[in-house]
Amino acid sequence: AIPLLADLAAPLPGRGALPPRAHLHSDAPRQLLDGTWQVRLHPSPRHAVDDGWQQPDARLDPADWSPVTVPGHLPLQGHGSPIYANVDYPFPVDPPFPPDDNPVADHRLELVAAPEVLAHPTVLRFEGVDGAATVWLNGVELGTLRGSRLTTELPCAGVLRPGTNVLAVRLAQWSAHSYLEDQDMWWMPGIFRSVTLLARPQGGVRDVFVHAGYDHRDGSGTLRVEVELEEGADAPATISVPALDLHGVAAGVEHRLPSVAPWTAETPVLYDAQVATATETVHLRIGFRTVTVEDATLLLNGTPLLFRGVNRHEHDPHRGRVVDLATARAELLLMKQHHVNAVRTSHYPPRAEFLDLADELGFYVILENDLETHGFERVGWRGNPSDDPQWLPAYHDRMRRTVERDKNHPSILLWSLGNEAGTGANLDAIAQWTRDRDPDRLVHYEGDWRSRHVDVYSRMYASVPEVEAIATEPPAETFTDPDEQHRRRLPFMLCEYAHAMGNGPGGLSEYQDLFHRYPRLAGGFIWEWVEHALAGGTTDDGRPVQLYGGDFGERVHDGSFVVDGVVHADKTPGPALADLARVFAPVSLDLAPDLSTLTVVNRYHSLDLSHLEAVWTSDGDGSGAGTPIPLPEVPAGGSAVVPLHLPPSALATTVTVLLRRRAAGDGCPAGHEVAWTQHVPARPVAALENDPVAPRRIGGGLVELGPAAFDERTGMPVRLGELALHDVAVSLWRAPTENDRGVASEEPDLPPVADRWAAARLDDLRTRLVEVGEDGPALVVRTRTGPPVLDAGVDVTWRWTSDGTALALDLTVEPYGSWPCDWGRVGVDLRLAEPTTRVSWTGWGPGPQYPDTGQAARYGSFVADRDDYAVRTVRPQEHGARRVDEATVELDTRALRVRGAGLPLTVRPWSRAVVAATRHDHELPAATETWISVDAAVSGVGTASCGPGVLPGYRLAPSPQRLHVLLQQVDRLR
Ligand code: GAL
């Protein structure tokens, strides 16, 4: 085992690989080796037995071996368990040494090579092996694999033979390279991408590098295809692009093409091409585009480019980073439907075919190297491989393999050196290598804010004020430091922002407004696309179990921080996705207050609006057919003020203006909504309809007011019609969201909002009844409510009236004393002893809305079942408030009607205390009751789980508040 130990501790690239090359679609024979392999495990390299198991004639004890599926992760197939850690290394920082406690898995596959593969020299290709592996074929060591998300090709000519062959892979979870693979995700060893035997015909096409540029001034293209041949070629390769009338032209020379259609994410025009020799033909799809920087602005084909991006990890709740192509395509289509135009492949190259999809469907890609050393931050970056020369070959090897594999994809506009790897000479060196190798693309790296070696100034989680300050920095000439001058000449982008964890992200619109206002801003990439929860089966009552860090007994872990995406692990959208679509909409619409005009701003990069139709509808949520609005021609980047000619009566109605696709396309069906805006007229204040009735004492300490009864001892209502009301109280707290639990980047020295609430005991308010009195027909109750320990609180006046049918509450809340914290919300809670089944409402929907979220919510009438209304998240937290004018909360037998003007209404089967104390959704108790909150105000949610907190305008400082609401027990609908 000693050679293996030494090998695993070497900070060097793997041995035995062929030089990296493009992932080509070739007609040469190939044989996929995916399927069922055999595996046995050892607890560490020191325990790994050298019993000749790699040999074809090895005598193995079947009891030691069990089947495993390739591609797959071992811990998801019963061998070991996943570990989730963000920054921390789950082992001592002792580079380049891995820990002894290091699971080793011997993999074995017996295979018979197909004759057509055997007829040529062969290569064994591994596209992704998580961990560090040594590979043998028929007992002969072919080489070692390093770089978990990178392709390795090992030559096996002369070793592969007719009849049965034995492929053996010894895979250790930890190695020196683990220090380079500290991405915020699950540590899960395994052969998780395909393994293939490739025939490499003599004189075949070894590698291709397409350079296809577009000149926006005259619409011409340039094409140069560099080709490298396998040994034994007797003639050079030829290139054919039939649609461009290129037939059998020479490689290596530049062809000028007077007229080509440019590739953009909006117009992903690809030209089919062949590169051929006598023995092999490879198929390529070429896109012509040119990416440049001018005046600190990012340009594509000469036009400013705005990334409406997401960070995408490969994740499947059952299979981990094994993501099949159909799923990847579905993910990209879902992005298209929500106006996402860019993907950063955080934080490693995805499976190779993902780039084919990005080319075809149209996405701008930042392709990131498989490199992160974030854990060194914990030790003050001491020993960071990024600045230690012994690691340079490994850095170089990783970057090369990243660039070479994917260099022919028009979708890739930037190469990213890696993520969160600190600073250092090795990064500078690979930046330089990348620029030399591929001068046609830009270089990205966020971790070095001096930006000396990159082409874009990139940051993560910068706040709105900071982004604006960067957008308006003084000109480059005013800086004396040449590095600063260089940085000032770069466009700015947020490679991560808007941390979409739990309820959130709040504040998307504010960023987008800046992106639209300042040309230096090239947009950004939401963190992140998909949540990485792992499936854990179902509960006894059939609820899916979703697991996160710590659920596998890990001692070093980061809990639910791995669950922070706009789509859930199973790729179903969370509410943030709809909000994102509204904010990312490529067309902005603005209705004049008198509805005389519609201002249309075309924010596409290159499309005009002819593929869209505009309609308006009245008094509905815009789902009807609508009346057409003739649109003038609005070129990309242009705008128009369109006269509307609506009937004067429209002003008093809800008017929704929609832009929809005329025909299916761009991953969307015909009629797909691209942009909308709405005029919502002032609505009458909900008021009692009949003459007021007077309160009267009915004995038993009760006061009756219309349909309601009040307990004189508490002053609180205990019955409404046939509904018993429980726990009616004023409340200032919400069940902390994950954003409430984070330290806001602009307040690094303050504890999280949730901790401030806890310190102030906002969740434990006590109420003293001051008086119960009458004022004409009103029952007037005064209470004083505040937390223990403190001398601050709120004085509350409850003014109840009724017309015999409904009960009206006019509540005023006056803070007193000196409050140590902002509030989560201000409103009234009550509990009903039956579970809700569903909620229907008129107001904003269908999704939830907090002051800084809910951009997708529009006025209309909606119905949601209990779970959809509550918005269940992997880790329970406050969510689901809708702003309602009127809502019916349906119970098993009856219903409660709530009326008010756009009041935040929360309905769920659990108290906030239960929600806050429960770690997983599936641990929430079964629904037996209903907790309802009607609020006067709620706080925004921000993104402090990683980044800025709630913007000042959306915070809820202690302040006087009023609430007017009508409550009524009604029959259940249906
Ligand atoms: C960034 C990092 C991501 C992820 C995110 C928080 O610092 O690049 O990988 O950890 O924060 O979810």
Nearest CA to ligand 1 atom 3: 184
The pLDDT, as a whole number, for residue 624 is 75
DSSP conformation class of 227? E
Contact 223, 255 (CB under 8 A): yes
Mapped onto helix, strand or coil, the DSSP state of residue 915 is: helix
* Chain region(s) in the chain for CATH 2.60.40.10: 205-292, 585-679
Structure tokens at 348: 């490693």
Residue among 84, 86, 446, 562 whose CB has most ligand 1 atoms within 8 A, to mutate: 86
The pLDDT, as a whole number, for residue 625 is 81
Find, among 434, 433, 428, the residue nearest to 450 by Cα. 428
State the chain's mean pLDDT as an integer: 97
Distance of CA 786 to the CA centre of its chain: 39
Sign of CA dihedral 264, 266, 267, 271: positive
pLDDT (tens digit per residue) in 585-595:
999 999 999 99
- Does ligand 1 have an atom closer than 6 angstroms to the CB of 419? yes
* Chain region(s) in the chain for CATH 3.20.20.80: 299-532+566-581
Give 524's pLDDT tier (boundaries 50, 70, 90). very high
Find, among 838, 877, 849, the residue nearest to 938 by Cα. 849
Distance 789 CA to ligand 1 centre (A): 39
| 554 is an active site residue | no
Nearest CA to ligand 1 atom 11: 946
Nearest CA to ligand 1 atom 10: 184
Nearest CA to ligand 1 atom 4: 184
Spatial separation of the C-alpha atoms in residues 262 and 271, rounded to whole Å: 10
* Kind plus residue range of the DSSP H or E element containing 308: strand 307-311
Over residues 414-433, mean pLDDT: 98
- Does ligand 1 have an atom closer than 6 angstroms to the CB of 527? yes
Name the active-site residue from 127, 181, 404, 420.
420
Question: Could you tell me what percent of the chain has a pLDDT over 90?
Answer: 98
Task: Say if domain 585-679 classifies as CATH 2.60.40.10.
Answer: yes
The pLDDT, as a whole number, for residue 2 is 62
Phi, psi of 549 (to 5 degrees): -55, 135
pLDDT for 360 beyond 70: yes
Question: How is the beta sheet containing 66-70 ordered, strand by strand?
Answer: 66-70, 35-42, 104-112, 164-172, 132-137, 140-145
- Does ligand 1 have an atom closer than 6 angstroms to the CB of 531? no
pLDDT for 893 beyond 90: no
- Which amino acid type is present at position 630? P
- Sequence-distant (6+) residues with CB within 8 A of 2 are none
The pLDDT, as a whole number, for residue 1 is 42
- Does ligand 1 have an atom closer than 6 angstroms to the CB of 562? no
- Which spans in 871-967 are helix H? 912-917
CATH architecture entry for 696-971? Distorted Sandwich (2.70)
Strand partners, 124: 154, 197
Mapped onto helix, strand or coil, the DSSP state of residue 763 is: coil
pLDDT for 973 beyond 80: no
- Does ligand 1 have an atom closer than 6 angstroms to the CB of 564? yes
Contact 265, 605 (CB under 8 A): yes
Nearest CA to ligand 1 atom 6: 946
Name the active-site residue from 280, 446, 496, 929.
496
Residue among 420, 548, 743 whose CB has most ligand 1 atoms within 8 A, to mutate: 420
Contact 880, 871 (CB under 8 A): yes
Distance 489 CA to ligand 1 centre (A): 27
pLDDT (tens digit per residue) in 324-357:
999 999 999 999 999 999 999 999 999 999 999 9
Spatial separation of the C-alpha atoms in residues 480 and 469, rounded to whole Å: 19
Over residues 678-701, mean pLDDT: 95
Distance 843 CA to ligand 1 centre (A): 36
Which superfamily does 4-199 belong to?
Galactose-binding domain-like (2.60.120.260)
Class at the top of the CATH hierarchy for domain 299-532+566-581:
alpha beta
Over residues 815-825, mean pLDDT: 97
| 228 is an active site residue | no
Place of tokens 């401030």: 756
* Kind plus residue range of the DSSP H or E element containing 223: strand 220-229
Contact 34, 205 (CB under 8 A): no
Distance 527 CA to ligand 1 centre (A): 7
- Sequence-distant (6+) residues with CB within 8 A of 63 are none
Find, among 883, 933, 943, the residue nearest to 907 by Cα. 933
Distance 622 CA to ligand 1 centre (A): 38
* Chain region(s) in the chain for CATH 2.60.120.260: 4-199
Strand partners, 898: 887, 967
Mapped onto helix, strand or coil, the DSSP state of residue 468 is: helix
Instruction: Give the C-alpha distances (Å, rounded to integers) separating 78 from 488, 906, 907.
Output: 52, 41, 40
- Which amino acid type is present at position 190? G
* Chain region(s) in the chain for CATH 2.70.98.10: 696-971
Distance 182 CA to ligand 1 centre (A): 11
Over residues 514-531, mean pLDDT: 98
pLDDT for 974 beyond 70: no
Contact 304, 297 (CB under 8 A): yes
- Does ligand 1 have an atom closer than 6 angstroms to the CB of 86? yes
CATH code of domain 205-292:
2.60.40.10
Find, among 153, 152, 160, 168, the residue nearest to 121 by Cα. 160
Q: What angle do CA 472, 477, 480 make, to 5 degrees?
A: 105
